Amino acid sequence: MFFHLDTATMKTVHEWAGFVLVAGAIAHLVLNWRPFTLYLRRLLAAAIIGFGALALVATFVPNLIPGVVEGAGLGPKVVMDAIGNATIPALAEMAGKPTDTLLAEFEAAGLTGIAPVKAVKQNAAGDGGKLREILSVALVPQG
């Protein structure tokens, strides 16, 4: 999910591909259970796997503490949410264009029915492709 810009199926494919990989890892562990348990008898091997398990558990800790993840920093999702929640005049200001010019550019690009009083996300109506097209017309230099 590249910079949280989801296509229609990207999130679903990403999640299901992850499930398939986890299922493969579990199947591999089950099929090789005896060698795995013999391997764990070595102190160094057990320590390495134990450290890996602790590191995995530690990645979930920030999600359990309220306010930690939300305030973690300025990532691409924060920026994209802010732009998506901006009205068309605010987007025009970000692009350094008058609102009327930006609306004309939307019309020329075939994006009809863009309402200046609505947020960018509302104008896209949940369509990730349309959202990217609106942002592309507004922010990518033409020519």
State the 10-residue block means of pLDDT for the chain, 143 residues long.
65 88 96 93 94 91 65 67 92 94 93 91 88 91 75
- pLDDT for 13: 85
Q: What pLDDT, on a 0 to 100 scale, did the predictor assign at position 27?
A: 98
pLDDT at 7: 66
Q: Please, which residues bridge with residue 87 across strands?
A: 119
The tokens describing 1, both together, are 């999910």
* pLDDT the model gives residue 142: 77
pLDDT of residue 118: 93
Return d(Cα 95, Cα 142) in angstroms, integer. 12
How much is the pLDDT for 11? 77
Rounded CA-CA distance 86/79 in Å is 11
Which pair of structure tokens corresponds to residue 142? 């033409």
